Amino acid sequence: MSLKGKTAVITGSNSGIGLGVAIELAKAGADVVLNSFTDRDEDHALAAQISADHGVTARYIQADMSKGNECRALIEQAGRCDILVNNAGIQHVAPIDEFPIDKWDAIIAINMSSAFHTTAAALPMMRQAGWGRVVNIASAHGLTASPFKSAYIAAKHGVVGLTKTTALETAEEQITANAICPGYVLTPLVEAQIPATMKEYGKGRDEVVRDVLLARQPSKEFATVEQLGGTTVFLCSDAAAQITGTTISVDGGWTAL
């Protein structure tokens, strides 16, 4: 599948899942726009490296996904958006009655509202081009729940609902909208948490990964950023032209329980 001539905008993509998705899209020939809230030399260097490695145009555009006007400005600055991957997200864990109001507001804004704003800005571009793909990175927690993650779960359920509405509003056009629902993914952030978790539980790495981190993931294996990127590329392919308004779980069987 070649995505040559297409431009993909991936929010929250200077590390982790977003960066992995951007690289897989670039491998498939898409020009890519990376994004995060920072504006560092290394952010722009990432884009330059992707461009050099894969022979595509890659840019980095700073935008704070907690602010609706910046979400929309990101798409406008990109100039073109054939493929929109809404990936930006943050997390906070606390009981509902102790959940900080500012954390709730930030998670809803970044994890859910940003996807609304970028989609609203991107759809006119997709309609003008006569083709488009919206891929929302939701979560297994967009389909199931866990205690102490109220904001994250509310936001990810909201992303799944937004995906369905987007699909219905574009159903008679060459535009699709789908959500990918990962389980636990091995990212640098997760990797960094493992030593502290080992210390907390007094267990070795393999035990902590299997019995603690992947307790709800039946495969007992992490998903990878490459797998999520590959799933995104598939959703952009002609084979997926009639896949719209649905979720694809990449969760090792989590939601089968």
Closest residue by Cα to residue 135 from 20, 50, 44 = 20
Burial class from Cβ neighbours inside 10 Å (0-12, 13-18, 19+) for residue 71 reads buried
Contact 92, 103 (CB under 8 A): yes
CA-to-CA distance for 124 and 95, rounded, in angstroms? 40
Annotation says 152 is catalytic:
yes
Six token digits for residue 72: 């929309």
Catalytic residue among 60, 152, 184, 201: 152
Phi, psi of 78 (to 5 degrees): -60, -30
* Residue 226 exposure: Cα atoms within 13 Å on the Cβ side: 1
Amino acid 222 reads F
Question: Catalytic residue numbers?
Answer: 152
